[in-house]
Amino acid sequence: MEPRHIGFVSTRFAGTDGVSLESAKWAEILWDHRHVSFWYAGKLDRDPAISMEVPEAYFLHPDNEEITNRVFGTMRRSRDVTRKITALAEYLKRTLYEFVKRFEIDILVVENALCMPMHIPLGVALTHFIAETGLPTIAHHHDFYWERDRFAVNAVGDFLQMAFPPALPSIHHVTINSFAQQDLAHRKGVSSTLVPNVLNFEAAPEKPDPFGADFREAIGLQPDDILVLQPTRVVPRKGIEHSIRLLKRLGDPRLKLVVTHESGDEGLDYQHVLLELAQQEGIDLRFVHTCVAEQRKSDESGNKVYALEDVYPHADLVTYPSLYEGFGNALLEAFYFRKPVLVNRYSIFISDIEPKGFEVIAMNGVLTRTVVERVRRVLNDPEYRERMVNHNFELAKQFFSYSVLRRKLRAIICSFVGADDL
């Protein structure tokens, strides 16, 4: 098969959010099979030579923020807002035509921009563009708007019905969990391929090198401190208050709670609440997003910025008390780096992950005495911990490795180009 040009499209490909990380894995697998990836977004940290950055496509662009603020939390929109949506969508559609022409794109991969209405004009632009061109498109859906309460009251039901996601013949829909697959079929009458998030379990993680070896020191920890890692964004659905209360219940002053990601698109109110709670409970809570990124680099002052793979080896425990997750990248990362993990049994964990037989410290919305004592045992019993993390690594290798993604992508690409191998 001749190499294909794959155009990845989203509102953002930058940083350590799940969409940016997962899209990079897809591109890596496609590159292994000679397909070349190109990138379109409003914010990018990809190679400029193979990218097209359109600032208006970023969900935090002022024009889009104005639209978003005026159409959610209300049941009626003004004529002016409708005009702004359609005008911006038309402009973005022109840039999509330019992107496809410039890089001679054969197949689009739309990452979350046709399911989560963070940027309504971009979703509309993509829908119109795909309808007009019939370009083969993989719509990779990480989250749907109907899964989020903040989108429930809105004045854009017509746009949501049309574009989030659209039912067009040239689109192959991909969902990341079984609930989303069922919901999409029920709500839109659209079938989809289930492709779970993955990690490269075929290659064991490397030991910390000199660059990453000093992460604990860099964030001010002492040698005997116990690093409890919360590797998530700071948004309410991550349940970080449970991690704070866990450390309170454990009662060891050496415990330090380290949160790796920033707040993102939902404001700073939750972070302020967490800081107040940690202060009240006497817990050492540290937000380190300014020194953690997708890739290693130096900041403007010349200080190290670590990658996530530099951070995980230093963790003694990973907390993942999420109330809801589309899948659970951080959970896979904990398995990959052989770290014990506390999990709040969110719905996708119960349906798609737990039945595989993983050994985690599971809670059901509340921190019981049993949960706290299991955490204490994991921290204090090296043999118990070692059996647990090795079991999880081998099981994840079987179900959530790159080989799984490779097989799934092969089938999808072949459905477009008619070849029998990728």
pLDDT in the model for residue 301: 82
**Is the domain of 261 the same as that of 176?**
no
Q: What proportion of the chain, given as a percentage, has pLDDT over 70? A: 98
108, 135 Cβ separation under 8 angstroms: yes
Q: What average pLDDT does the segment 6-32 reach?
A: 90
Q: pTM of this prediction?
A: 0.84
Contacts (Cβ under 8 Å, ≥6 apart) of 235: 263, 264, 266, 270
135, 416 Cβ separation under 8 angstroms: no
Using one digit for the tens of pLDDT, what is the confidence trace for 280-316?
999 999 999 999 987 888 888 888 999 999 999 999 9
Which amino acid belongs to residue 135?
A: L
**Is the domain of 231 the same as that of 100?**
no
Which amino acid belongs to residue 142?
A: H
Question: CA distances (Å), 356 to each of 398, 402, 421, in order?
Answer: 10, 17, 29
CATH code at position 189: 3.40.50.2000
Least confident of 41-55, 128-142, 201-215: 201-215
**Is the domain of 189 the same as that of 294?**
no
**Is the domain of 358 the same as that of 407?**
no
Residue 210 in any domain: the answer is: no
Residue 206 in any domain: the answer is: no
45, 76 Cβ separation under 8 angstroms: no
**Is the domain of 63 the same as that of 156?**
yes
Residue 203 in any domain: the answer is: no
Q: What proportion of the chain, given as a percentage, has pLDDT over 90? A: 83
**Is the domain of 221 the same as that of 172?**
no
**Is the domain of 192 the same as that of 286?**
no
DSSP 230-264: E-S-SSGGG-HHHHHHHHHHHT-TTEEEEE-S--G
Using one digit for the tens of pLDDT, what is the confidence trace for 355-383?
999 999 999 999 999 999 999 999 999 99
**Is the domain of 10 the same as that of 128?**
yes
Number of domains, the chain: 2
* Residue numbers of the domain that contains 250: 215-399
**Is the domain of 175 the same as that of 274?**
no
Residue 338 in any domain: the answer is: yes
**Is the domain of 90 the same as that of 153?**
yes
**Is the domain of 265 the same as that of 364?**
yes
Whose tokens are 């454990």? That residue is: 250
Residue 95 in any domain: the answer is: yes
pLDDT in the model for residue 169: 96
**Is the domain of 124 the same as that of 262?**
no
